[in-house]
Amino acid sequence: MRIEARNLGWREIVRGVSVEIRKGETFGLVGPNGSGKSTLLRLLAGLMPRAAGEVWLDGAPLAQLSRRQIAQRLALVEQFADTGEALSVRDAVDLGRTPWLSPLSPFGPEDRQIVDRALAAVGMEGMAARAWATLSGGERQRVHIARALAQEPRVLILDEPTNHLDIHHQLALLGLVAALPVTVVMALHDLNQAMMCDRLGVMSDGRMVACGKPAEVLTPDNLARIFRVRAQPMIDPSDGSTLFRFLPMETST
């Protein structure tokens, strides 16, 4: 599913962001803390009240779709979503089926299979009966992603999905996301991980200041200007891919 955003804005947090995300693309959002990444993701999901600008999903204006229609197309995994309810892992993932259910089509065997597949995709199939309160931060994150997968979206929006995850699960998750046949938009903290995206948008102070292929966008120049680090590109001889080593900026005084 193609996403087009024009002149998105919300208060002073996000200002005049226009971007086009292609069908099936894995689009990364990077930027320093407080640069507006999370707000931009929420704007793309149509979740911010009194937002400026417009979003189209495959040409259909988001503002004209009902919440339910949006949720059938687009799933969002936010940071820090927690619950005090004594839900099990399966209960939490079942919630992903919400936009597809109605009194006339209650939760059925198909829905159960979809939930099973979503649990398996994040490696949580053996923990379906575990209580939410007993999960680690990384396990909770994987359950949230399974919940989003159970929504069967065509656009998956993830806010720093690798937070809380150990390195094995970080790589597994990025591999899973890259292999999904859906459009993915995700905020990422780790710039080396951002290199695996098809394209990147760089946020700084509420604006998208650069957008393009990772190698074109994450130049030492941009990194110095936006992230205030000195980046040393290094080539991995085994596959020729670029890695960054980050160093503090030399102080001018």
Partner 1 sequence: MTRRAALSALAVPVLSRAGLGAVLLALAVLAGVTIGEVALPLGLVGDLLAVKLLGIERALDPIEAGILWSYRLPRTLVAAACGAGLALSGVVLQALVRNALADPYLLGVSAGAGAGAVAVTLLGLGGGAIGLSAGAFGGAASAFLIVALLAKAAGGGPAQLVLAGIAGSQLFNALTSFFIAKSANAEQARGLMFWLLGNLSGVRWPDVSLALPVVGLGFLVCLAHVRPLDAFSFGSGAAASLGIAVRRVQLVLIAAVTLMTATLVSLVGSIGFVGLVIPHAMRFLVGPRHARLIPASALAGAVFLIAADIAARVLIPGQVVPIGVVTALVGAPGFALILIRNRRRS
Nearest distance, CB of residue 61 and partner 1, angstroms: 17
Candidates 2, 6, 19, 21; CA nearest to 52 is: 6
Q: Does 129 bind partner 1 (CB under 8 A)?
A: no
Cross-strand pairs, 25: none
Angle at 26 between CA 237 and CA 28, to 5 degrees: 80
Nearer to partner 1, 69 or 222 (CB): 69
Candidates 78, 107, 81, 103; CA nearest to 95 is: 107
Q: Does 105 bind partner 1 (CB under 8 A)?
A: yes
Q: Does 58 bind partner 1 (CB under 8 A)?
A: no
Nearer to partner 1, 93 or 218 (CB): 93
Q: Does 98 bind partner 1 (CB under 8 A)?
A: yes
Task: Please name the residues in contact with 205: beta carbons below 8 A apart, sequence gap of 6 or more.
Answer: 35, 36
Q: Does 133 bind partner 1 (CB under 8 A)?
A: yes
Please give the distance of CA 250 from its chain centroid, rounded to a whole number: 33
Q: Does 110 bind partner 1 (CB under 8 A)?
A: yes
Site residues for partner 1, 141-170, by CB under 8 A, read 151
For residue 28, which amino acid is it? G
Phi, psi of 193 (to 5 degrees): -70, -35
Determine which residue in the list 50, 59, 64, 66 makes contact with partner 1, applying CB under 8 A. Answer: 66
Site residues for partner 1, 74-93, by CB under 8 A, read 74-76, 78, 81-87, 91-92
Nearest distance, CB of residue 162 and partner 1, angstroms: 20
Tokens of 186: 């995700």
Nearest distance, CB of residue 71 and partner 1, angstroms: 3
Q: Are 3 and 57 in contact (CB under 8 A)?
A: yes
Nearer to partner 1, 66 or 253 (CB): 66
Number of residues forming the site for partner 1 (CB under 8 A): 37
Determine which residue in the list 60, 72, 125, 205 makes contact with partner 1, applying CB under 8 A. Answer: 72
Q: CA-to-CA distance for 116 and 121, rounded, in angstroms?
A: 9
Q: Does 13 bind partner 1 (CB under 8 A)?
A: no
Q: CA-to-CA distance for 166 and 164, rounded, in angstroms?
A: 7
Q: Does 106 bind partner 1 (CB under 8 A)?
A: yes
In the DSSP assignment, the letter for residue 236 is -
Q: Does 99 bind partner 1 (CB under 8 A)?
A: yes
Q: CA-to-CA distance for 205 and 15, rounded, in angstroms?
A: 8
Contacts with partner 1 by CB under 8 A lie at 42, 45, 47, 66-72, 74-76, 78, 81-87, 91-92, 95-96, 98-99, 101, 103, 105-110, 133, 151
